[in-house]
Structure 1
C-alpha cells in the first residue's frame, strides 16, 4: 500500500483528535454524553474551537480522499509526489487545528487555503 493510501486512513481518523480535545480536555470524560451535540454546542473557548475544527475536518476530508484516489487511479503523477502532497495535506490539517484551537484566525485561514491548494494540485497534476 502506498504512503498516500495510508494518509487516507489517517485523514479519516484525524477529526476525532479534535473531538477528543473538545470533549475530554481538562476533565475525565465528556459531560452529557446522552446529548453530545447539545454538549458540544454549549462549549466555549478553546474547546468550542476544537469542536469547530472537528466539523471543518469532516467537511474537507472527502475532497482529500477523492483527490488521492483520482491521482492514484490515473497514475500520471509520480508516486513520490503524490505521497509528499498527501503528507503535506495531513500536516496542513494538524496545523489548521492548532491554529483554530489557539484562535489564530488569519493564520488558520492561510493554512486552510494551503490545504485546499494541495487538493487542487493533486487533481491538476494528475490531468
Structure 2
C-alpha cells in the first residue's frame, strides 16, 4: 500500500475521530446518547458543535481527495509526488480541524482552500 493510500484511509477515519472528541468529553446531561445520536448532536454547543461541523466537512472533502489519488495513480503519475501531496492534505486537514475547534473561522477558510487546492493538484496529475 502506498503512502497516499494510507492517507486516504486516514482521511476516511479523521471525521469520525473529530466528533469522537466531543463524544468522549461529554458528561452529565450532555453525555453522548448512542440510542439517539442525532438528537444528541442537535443539542451540542460551542466547540463540540464545531467538532460535529468539522466532521461533516471532513466527509464532504473526501470524494475529491479519494478520486484525485485514485485517478493520479491510475494515470501512473509520479508516486512520490502523489504521496507528498497526500501527506500535505492530511496535515492541512488536521490544521483545519484545529482551526474549526478553536473557532478561527477566517483562518479555517484559508486552510480549507489550501486542502481543496491540494486535492486539485493531485487530480491534475492524472
Q: Give the alignment's Cα RMSD to 1 decimal.
A: 1.6
* Alignment: residue pair count: 125
Q: Deviations over 1:37-58 (max 9, x none)?
A: 1111210000000000001001
Contact between 1:22 and 1:40, CA under 8 Å: does it hold in 2? no
**Which residue number in structure 2 is paired with residue 97 of structure 1?**
97
**Which residue number in structure 2 is paired with residue 72 of structure 1?**
73
Q: Deviations over 1:44-102 (max 9, x none)?
A: 00000000000100111111111100001111x21111000000001111110000010
Distance 1:116 1:68 in 2: 13
Q: Which segments of 5 or more consecutive residues in structure 1 lack a partner in the other structure?
A: none
Query: Normalized against structure 1, the TM-score is what?
Result: 0.92
| 1:37-116 mapped onto 2 (5 Å cutoff) | 37-75=38-76, 77-116=77-116
Contact between 2:69 and 2:122, CA under 8 Å: does it hold in 1? yes
Q: Which segments of 5 or more consecutive residues in structure 2 lack a partner in the other structure?
A: none
